[in-house]
Amino acid sequence: MSSDRKQLGKTIAVAFFSTIAGFALCLTLYSFLPSRMAPAQSVMAAPNESEIATMENFQNSFRKVAAESLPWVVEIDVVEVTTRSTTPFGNGAPWNFFFGNPQQGEEGETTEREFKTPGLGSGFIVEQDGNTYYVVTNNHVAGKADEISIKMDNGDEYEAELVGADERKDLALLKFESRETLPVARLGDSDGLYVGDWVLAIGSPFGYKSSVSAGIISALGRQNGPDGNINDFIQTDAAINQGNSGGPLVNMKGEVVGINTWITTSTGGSIGLGFSIPINNVKQTVRDFIDKGEVQYGWLGVSIGDLPEDVAASMELDERTGAFVYQVFTNSPADDGGIHPGDYILAVNGKEAQDKNHLTRMIGDMRPGDHAEFLLIRNGQKMSVTVKIKARASEEDVKQMNNQAWPGVSVFPLIDSLRERMDLDEEVQGVFVAEVYPKTTMQVAGIQSGDIITGVNGETVESLKEFYTAMAEIGSGQFYISFYREGHEMETARIRKK
């Protein structure tokens, strides 16, 4: 019993001293571990002098660009005057039925009233000629204005007038007179931009004059602009809001690289999706406005488009950049120069055409009388043709030229889904007519939408490539078209190309 007690005592003693030793060891090790604090109390080390200098230099760059740019950025206030017809009892005031309105005519007499609609935008001084200063902005800001005033950053105001406006590029040029010496913007090179570049958007959003917002270039070459606009666009996350339209997008050198034009928004305000016209799209337009009062576009005389996958397969084309010629207008520069419907244009004067919009801009920026060399694919072979560019007519005149389009039909391959929808047998081969241009040769010949063209001059047509080849071979002589309509094989009368 005594030995058991001794053994128990030893065991208790060992356990006690082991606990004490372990506790001491933990205290010793803990003293060597890094100090830890609760997340809410974490404190970062203060930046060193080098880091502070870097941040200050970055901040000073923004200060410098803003200070140099604001004096040549302007707020544009406009008024558009419209006239509406009114009658004595048609203005919504019921007491006029009994007492009349001395400012209107007798009962039942229609009078004309003027209504003034104010508008707001931005712009910047782009050129000086003596005491005349020119301001560039958007067409949707000032293109239809009857009254225009300009406010400078220092508070000075000037009455301005419209020099020229262009809807296709959404640009307008204003001018005003001043005996003061005013700064003029420096224009940069928008072709030298990269995604990630820092930029400032300057203007008068919601009337807050001389506002500056910062961001980066989010994307380049955006094509999804407003309907009818032929620009590509710079996308930026610099805040752009209503009233910024027409104002400059400025790089860190203080150069204008874009004109802020539109935003995508679900709230009415900026959500980081702003779009600017590249300044290189603007330079020639400004010169046209100053020298001629209007924009003179080059004209080729074709209807072009990008290639859907099915069309590319039927044409046996593997190219990913360029534009497809769907129509050629009779007696146009393209017709005279030897461009055919079905050609695929790859480049102009050695510059690659990215897509139909890019090709449209390249041709539009040419001057009437310029000679342009087109690299294209025809029947699987690359070749070049030289075309003398003419001046583009007005939009109304261009629309009236549709009856001169050749071949005057929009055709597509007979893909499986189309065959199923039309319940066509496999024996029926040809190209599907989606649209027929009014008053063209094909409409006169009797071709209708929904027809399937199966042959030209007795030669079988089974693909788009064969169709366009046949169209290119038709000269001034007579021809006829074989087609399939509602289960029947038919032929047009012989006809000549307009």
**435 phi, psi to nearest 5 deg:** -155, 145
Structure tokens at 362: 């390249």
Exposed / middle / buried, residue 275 (Cβ in 10 Å: 0-12, 13-18, 19+): buried
Is residue 170 annotated as a catalytic residue, yes or no? yes
Active-site entry in 69, 211, 218, 245: 245
What whole-number distance in Å separates Cα of residue 448 and Cα of residue 467? 16
What whole-number distance in Å separates Cα of residue 312 and Cα of residue 387? 25
For the four alpha carbons of 479, 484, 485 and 490, in that order, the dihedral sign comes to positive
> Please, which residues have CB within 8 angstroms of residue 297's CB and are 6 or more apart in sequence?
168, 363, 364, 365, 391, 392
- Residue 172's DSSP bridge partners are 137, 165
Active-site entry in 69, 77, 166, 170: 170
Is residue 140 annotated as a catalytic residue, yes or no? yes
- Residue 371's DSSP bridge partners are 388
**42 phi, psi to nearest 5 deg:** -65, 140
Per residue, the 3-state secondary structure of 380-426, as one string, reads CEEEEEEEECEECCCHHHHHHHHHHEECCEEEEECCHHHHHHHCCCC
* Residues 327, 302 contacting (CB under 8 angstroms): yes
Active-site entry in 69, 77, 122, 140: 140
Q: Which residues are catalytic?
A: 140, 170, 245
